[in-house]
Chain A
Amino acid sequence: MKINKIFFISCLVTCFLFLFIASALTAGDETADITEMLSRLGENVSAFRSLKTNFVQEKDLAIFQNRIIMKGRIYLQKPNRMAWHVDEPVKYSVVITDKSIRQWDEDTNRVQEIGLSGNPVFQNVLNQLTVWFSGDYVSLLKDYNVRILKKSPLVFEFTPKGNNVAGKIIKNITIGLREDERYLQQIKILEISGDSTTIIFKDTIFNAPINDPDFEVKRRV
């Protein structure tokens, strides 16, 4: 009877050990898989010199259970130029380079220039945008836990790690890739408050010639 008991406990311990090692190995495999996948995606997504895309931005405000929709265009030019033009419901443009931010809107009809050197907040925003739009997703692994939500087309969920200050505002960020995995299909930011922002990219064109007016903020009103 005593031998049976010892045998039973040994079996139980062995099972637990097996399960523990197996799950650790699986987790290790999964992390390695994700790193490899993100690295491959990064290469795909970053393989452009310039990019033009239309976007629809859906802002869901928890307090209203209602949605605000903004439409516009984004232009990226490597190494460090980005233009974000909103066409609806208000006309607004911002052009960001590594040195400055210039913005304009139809209501004020003024161009404002903000230096980046004295603006750590803007610099941080710029760094974030650069990472999300340029595909350097492996660099996010130090600040975010990543899991795959869907394999075809690929959907990743990034959750801020405990020490990441973004976790005070952001619950998670989901990015969905296009079928051909060349660029983002959409990016969804879910906030702790319950608000969410979804940016859906449409009609993305790679390496099309970008004209200087695309990087001008002031428009005719």
Chain B
Amino acid sequence: MKLLAVIFIVLVCVVGCSGIPFQKTLYVSMESVDPWTLVEQFRNNSPEKFALINTIVFGYNWNKLSALGYIKVDAGEKTFTAVCINPMGVKLFELTGDKDKIDPHFVMEQFSRKGNFAGTVGEDIRRIYFDLTPSAGAVVNKKKIKIVFSEPAGSGILEYIFAGSAGLLVEKNYYEDGILNWRISYYEYLQKDGKNYPSGIILENYRYGYSLTIKLKEIRG
């Protein structure tokens, strides 16, 4: 019986791991790294204004929907414009937003029927592309192979995890009442003009049971 349980756990791990289409960050010792120097470096090497073309897979229950996304972000001003089209070129939605509001310019009817679709997408975009470094008051928990920063956010706790040989942001986790609400994982950073861009991003929203897998296709300035 014990053996069966072990086999089951191993299988779950293997299947779970194989579901990630990006290379996991190789964790190295962070013992000699100063946490705030790391944050400062990451902030300096993060792009402020950029436009990206991504492929996006939206996963809900066992359904998966694939699309192409074009997004323009001003992380300093905290504004964004996003358009999503299907692979045949049909527009699915178009919206703009800032830190306070989301303006849906167009949402295909089949999506707009499902609650506040634009609000949910806009909130996910903010989580993914804004506030990528902890504020000065964050609590630092330095571990052997990663550095964890925690700070209050909304009615919960937001966690930033930095790891890897380059000391980059690998995870953002949000907890409410000790329960993980959502997690964003950043993979395979690449550099353009001295700035770092993750070429893979996975958002898992445990509260509402959906995921977004974002693959970077092109950086446009």
Residues of A within 8 A of B (CB): 57, 59, 61, 63-64, 66, 68, 70, 84, 86, 89-90, 92, 94, 105, 107-108, 110, 193, 195, 197
Shortest CB distance B95–A (Å): 9
Which A residues touch B218, using CB under 8 A? 89
Decide if B172 is an interface residue (CB 8 Å cutoff): no
Residues of B within 8 A of A (CB): 21, 51, 53, 55, 57, 64, 66, 68, 70, 72, 81, 83, 85, 87-89, 91, 94, 96, 105-106, 213, 215, 217-218, 220
Whether A86 pairs with B88 at a CB distance below 8 angstroms is yes
- Quick one: closest B residue to A91, CB to CB? B87
* Known contacts A63-B105, A107-B215, A108-B57: A92-B66 contact under CB 8 Å: yes
Per DSSP, chain B at the interface is strand
Which A residues touch B105, using CB under 8 A? 63, 193
6 tightest A-B contacts by CB?
A92-B87, A108-B64, A105-B66, A107-B57, A89-B217, A90-B55
| Given pairs A193-B105, A197-B89, 20 additional interface contacts (CB within 8 A) | A61-B94, A64-B51, A64-B72, A66-B220, A68-B53, A68-B68, A70-B89, A86-B88, A89-B53, A89-B68, A90-B66, A90-B68, A90-B87, A92-B66, A92-B88, A105-B87, A107-B55, A107-B57, A107-B66, A195-B91
Whether A57 pairs with B89 at a CB distance below 8 angstroms is yes
Which A residues touch B55, using CB under 8 A? 89-90, 107
Which A residues touch B57, using CB under 8 A? 107-108
Shortest CB distance A203–B (Å): 20
- Quick one: closest A residue to B64, CB to CB? A108
A-B contacts, CB under 8 A, total: 59
Shortest CB distance A102–B (Å): 14
Can you give 11 contacting A-B residue pairs, CB < 8 Å?
A63-B94, A63-B105, A64-B51, A66-B51, A68-B85, A84-B88, A86-B87, A89-B68, A90-B217, A92-B66, A107-B213
Shortest CB distance B69–A (Å): 10
Whether B87 pairs with A59 at a CB distance below 8 angstroms is no
- Quick one: closest B residue to A199, CB to CB? B89
Which B residues touch A197, using CB under 8 A? 89
Contact of A64 among B21, B83, B91 (CB under 8 A): B83
- Most B-side CB within 10 Å, residue of A57, A86, A105: A105
- Most A-side CB within 10 Å, residue of B81, B85, B218: B85
Which B residues touch A68, using CB under 8 A? 53, 68, 70, 85
> With the chains together, A195 CA to B89 CA distance in Å?
11
> With the chains together, A30 CA to B75 CA distance in Å?
56
